[in-house]
Amino acid sequence: MIKYVLRRLLQMIPVFIGVTMLLFLLRAPGVLPGDPIRMITGERAIPDALRVEIEEKYHFNDPLPVQYGYYLSDLVHGDLGDSLQKGRPVTDIFADKYPNTIKLALVAIVIEVIIGVGAGIVSAVKQYSFWDVLVTLSTSILVSMPVFWLGMLFQIFFGIKFKQWGLPYLPISGMGNPPDLVHLILPGVTLASVSTAYAARIMRSQMLEVMSQDYIRTALAKGLSWSTVVRRHALKNALIPVVTFMGIDLGAMLSGAILTETVFNWPGVGLEIFLAIGQRDWPVVMGGVVVVVIAVMFVNLLVDMSYAFLDPRIRYGSGTE
Amino acid sequence: MTKSTNDPQGTNLDPKDASGHAVRDLYSPLPVAPLEEHDVSGPTRTLWRDAWRRLRKNKLAMAGLVWVALVISITLSADLWVPDAFGDPEAIDTATAAQNYLLPPSADHPFGTDKLARDVFARVVYGARISLSVGIIAVFISIAIGLIMGALAGYYGGLADVLVMRLADVFLAFPYVLFAVALIAVLGPGYINVFIAIGVLGWPTIARVFRSSILSVKENEYIDAARAMGASDARIIFRHILPNAIAPILVYGTMATGGAILTEAALSFLGMGVQPPTPSWGLMLSDAKALMQRAPWMMIYPGAAILTTVLSFVLMGDGLRDALDVKMKD
């Protein structure tokens, strides 16, 4: 168990180096077309003295590996530069916003687990029934839908139209003041929608695959009831890939929320990055990407570790990957 | 695409033996009817014809195919009729703009007009050009990079394998839209950069598919035979190994085209993609956001265009996967 955790930690190191190196190369001078100093100062013209000062500060005249060393050291010390518009350190800005993003992600994950897994199981157990067709069709539609469009449809329908018809309507923007749970409903459902559809599809195909295995037939043959076999034998094994997906998805929600948060003006990390794009505030954009990527890697690591609890084969170190 | 995989030269499309009998597989009943009545009617069994026959029975996949064909033909012929009938998708007619802005759908403007008095239908039609071209070109870029990387990893193995697969892990660790945002933040927003960004990000999946299919056939004797005959590595990889991997790559490519269209819409919605006045579905939705209550038609139609087009690719991908019997992780 400890060996497995340690090995996962070690495997993360090259990925971490690769990810940071890629982000570093994106704004290193001379690697891609585009002026790295523009990325720091914004669009306005700057005096040569300031240009030299920035080149000094960011070590743009050193060899690339040395620059990368400085970059990594800044990163480890939590220094992502300052916002052009707000003059605040990028790290502080995102520290303020992250709790909101996490709140939204947790709501979405709960919806995904209950509806996605539930629909997948029903769909597989009652294959080719009305419910199966319904789930298959609606998941195909959901995965083809732009998230931000779905959010806007919700806003028109449950916000604007319900209000016009004199029905109880839902808030469509912001967190409320003071923040309340009602404001979480529409953005939460929107953020959960696509993932719920994927979770249902994966759950369905996994259940179908597991149900065709020999040991399921054996369990039925020895006289266990259908529902016992589904619950005790099939479900557990079918769940592992779904957990994998959800872990990756939780990571993605910490970032993919950029679209949902933009539509619902939800004051999280994604909205902050979106606003920074509009203001050409590149340190916030790039800093936000770095913060999110590191958060995603961390969540993925936690998910990998959770397998050790779910799957005894991993715990005892035989079936490794 | 009509070649069979066990017939790399493609010479045997209509197989007959020396005496002119159609060659059938062993499980079909022997022909009892006279030859001339028989040889046209019996379907030739090749992988692609079998797959096509199965695909044709899949109503949803065929609906997707028809829809995409329709969208493509409308888009390609758009220059001939759309501007005349509905107005220019980009230019603003200053003389009439004051009366014609934000008109609800009517006979003259089936999808209504936007806040600059441009016809929404014309913009949706021209938006299809951006979406489809980004989708298709981006996926071709992904496939090109993915095939080269996959070949490096699978065929040469060793250090190349480790490096390429680690790099793929790095790319997959990135949240997709955010990485595209970062890349475009550096390259600058714009049409070309959107498909470069989407294309560059899509390669790891293709590389993995190709790598595993190389690994599964690399030790076969026909590869040794090709090498003994002096074929170069490139020829072995692309002439003798690649045909084994075409089915999964086709399935993946179809699905990825839908994904690329969604990503383009998302990037344009965020202001990191196609820039105004060029009509793009994502950009139209971001214009519509502020006018949602006043002019809902501005957001309904571009969104419906994205949904139906992407859904068509997803259904075609599903259909191809079943028809070609490709095993895939969802």
Q: Are residues A272 and A212 in the same domain?
A: yes
Query: Over 50: is that where the pLDDT of A319 sits?
Result: no
**Is pLDDT of B311 > 90?**
yes
Tell me how crowded residue A146 is: count the other CB atoms within 10 A of its CB: 24
- Give yes or no: residues A229 and A269 share one domain: yes
Chain centroid to Cα A148, Å, comes to 15
Contact A147 B266 (CB under 8 A): yes
**Residues of chain A contacting residue B181, judged by C-beta atoms under 8 Å apart:** 258, 273, 277, 285, 289
Give the pLDDT score at B14: 47
Q: Clarify whether residues A58 and A107 are in a common domain.
A: no
Comparing C-alpha atoms, which of A198, A183, A171, A192 is closest to residue A105? A192
The answer, for B290 touching chain A at a CB cutoff of 8 Å, is no
Q: How far is B188 from chain A (nearest CA, A)?
A: 8
**What is the share, in percent, of chain A residues with pLDDT greater than 70?**
88
Percent of chain A residues past pLDDT 90, beyond the cut: 5
Q: Span A132-152, mean pLDDT?
A: 89
Q: How many CB atoms are closer than 10 A to CB A252?
A: 21
Whether A152 and B288 lie within 8 Å, measured CB to CB: yes
Q: Are residues A151 and A107 in the same domain?
A: yes
* Paired tokens of B136: 């298709």
Q: Which residues of B219-256 are buried (b: 16+ CB within 10 A; e: fewer)?
A: eeeebeebeeeeeeeeebbeebbbbebbbbbbbbbbbb
The minimum CA-CA distance between B155 and chain A, rounded to whole Å, is 22
Q: Has residue B245 got a pLDDT over 80?
A: yes
**Which residue in B71, B166, B183, B269 has the most chain A C-beta atoms within 10 A of its own C-beta, making it the best mutation to test that interface?**
B269
Residue A86 lies in a domain: no
Query: Is A90 inside any structural domain?
Result: no
Residue A241: CB atoms within 10 Å: 16
Bond prior to A63 in cis (omega within 30° of 0): no
Asked if residue A160 and residue A104 are part of one domain, the reply reads yes
In this structure, the answer to whether residues A51 and A190 fall within a common structural domain is no
Percent of chain B scoring above 90 in pLDDT? 13
What mean pLDDT is predicted for residues A100-123? 90
Window 234-263 of A, Cβ < 8 Å to B: 241, 251-252, 254-256, 258-259, 262-263
Q: Give residue-wise pLDDT tens across range B162-182.
A: 888 888 877 877 777 777 887
Judged against a pLDDT cut of 60, whether residue B32 lies above it is answered with no
| Residue B44: predicted pLDDT | 63
Q: Is the pLDDT of residue A88 over 80?
A: yes
Q: Could you tell me the sign of the dihedral formed by the alpha carbons of B224, B226, B229, B230, in that order?
A: negative
**pTM exceeds 0.90 for this model:** no
Shortest Cα distance, chain A CAs vs residue B178, angstroms: 6
Kind and range of the H or E element at B55? helix B47-57
More confident residue, B178 or B63: B63
A89: β partners: A82
Q: Is residue A316 part of a domain?
A: no
DSSP B10: -
pLDDT confidence bin for A318, thresholds 50/70/90: very low
Question: Residue A214 sits in a domain of what CATH number?
Answer: 1.10.3720.10
- Asked if residue B199 lies in contact with residue B113, where contact means CB atoms within 8 angstroms, the answer is no
Within this chain, do residues A162 and A70 fall inside the same structural domain, yes or no?
Answer: no
User: Could you tell me if A149 and A6 lie in one domain?
Assistant: no
A-facing residues of B in 166-225 (CB < 8 A) are 166-167, 169-170, 173-179, 181-183, 185-188
Task: Find tokens 């090709």 and name the residue.
Answer: B226
φ/ψ (deg, to 5) at B197? -60, -50
Contact residues on chain A for B315, CB-CB shorter than 8 A = 140
**ipTM of this complex prediction, to 2 decimal places:** 0.81
| Of residues A14, A140, A289, nearest to B181 (C-beta) | A289
CB B262 within 8 A of CB B177: no
Indicate yes or no: CB of A296 within 8 angstroms of CB of B175. Answer: yes
Which residues have a Cβ under 8 Å from the Cβ of B111 and sit 6 or more positions away?
Answer: B105, B119, B120, B121, B124, B297, B301
pLDDT band with cut points at 50, 70 and 90 for residue B28: low
For residue A17, the chain B residue with the least C-alpha distance is B170
**CB of A251 closer than 8 Å to CB of B175:** yes
- Give the pair of three-digit tokens for residue B309: 């087009």
What is the rounded distance in angstroms from the CA atom of residue A203 to the CA atom of residue A208? Answer: 9
Scan residues 111-170 of B and list those with Cβ closer than 8 Å to A: 166-167, 169-170
Out of A230-234, B103-107, B230-234, B321-325, which region has the weakest mean confidence (pLDDT)?
B103-107
Residue A103 sits in the same domain as residue A69: no
Q: Is residue A133 part of a domain?
A: yes
Examine the fold and report which residue of A46, A76, A106 is the final residue of a domain before the chain moves on.
A76
Q: Across the interface, do A146 and B266 touch by the CB < 8 Å criterion?
A: yes
B7: confidence class by pLDDT, cuts 50, 70, 90: very low
Check if the beta carbon of residue A85 is closer than 8 Å to that of residue A281.
yes
User: Whole-angstrom Cα distance, residue B215 to residue B150?
Assistant: 10
The answer to whether residues A148 and A287 belong to one domain is yes
Residues of A in contact with B293 (CB under 8 A): 156, 160
In a domain, A317, yes or no: no
User: A205: phi > 0 → left, psi -120 to 50 → alpha, else beta; which?
Assistant: alpha
Rounded to whole angstroms, the Cα distance separating A113 from A106 reads: 11
* Separation CA B167–CA B165 (nearest Å): 5
Nearest to B268 by CA among A189, A67, A232, A146: A146
Q: Which residue of A has its CA nearest to B292?
A: A156
Chain B partners within 8 Å of A147 (Cβ): 266
Instruction: Kindly report which listed range (A303-307, B177-181, B312-316) carries the lowest average pLDDT score.
Output: A303-307
Report the gap between the CA of B80 and the closest CA in chain A (Å): 30
Tell whether A51 is covered by a domain: yes
Q: Which of residues 86-125 of A touch B (CB under 8 A)?
A: none
pLDDT of residue A181: 80
Does residue B174 or residue A132 have the better pLDDT? A132
Q: Which residue of A has its CA nearest to B162?
A: A14
Query: Helices marked H in B157-296 — which ranges?
Result: 158-173, 176-187, 191-201, 203-217, 221-228, 233-235, 242-269, 281-289
Count: domains in chain A = 2
- A15, B292: Cβ pair inside 8 Å? no
Mean pLDDT of A62-85: 79
The mean per-residue pLDDT over the stretch B139-154 comes to 92
**A136 and A59 in a common domain:** no
pLDDT of residue B328 exceeding 60, the answer is no
Q: Which two tokens stand for residue B47?
A: 């992988």
| In-domain check, residue A82 | no
Residue A41's domain comprises 2-76
Instruction: Give the pLDDT band (50/70/90) at residue B241.
Output: confident
Q: Which of B6-10, B192-196, B308-312 bottoms out in mean pLDDT, i.e. has the lowest?
A: B6-10
Q: Which amino acid is at B66?
A: V
Contact in structure between B308 and B292 (CB atoms under 8 Å): no
Q: Which one of A145, A149, A196 would you mutate to disrupt binding with B, by most B Cβ within 10 Å of its Cβ?
A: A149
Domain termination site, one of A76, A106, A138: A76
pLDDT at A81 over 80: no
Confidence (pLDDT) at B8: 44
Which residues in chain B have their CB less than 8 angstroms from residue A148's CB? Answer: 266, 269, 285
**Model confidence band, residue A288 (pLDDT cutoffs 50, 70, 90):** confident
Nearest to B311 among A19, A144, A155 (CB): A144
| Average of per-residue pLDDT across B44-58 | 80
Domain end, chosen from A16, A44, A76, is at A76
A250 and A149 together in one domain: yes
User: In chain B, which residue's Cα lies nearest the Cα of A42?
Assistant: B185
More confident residue, B18 or B91: B91
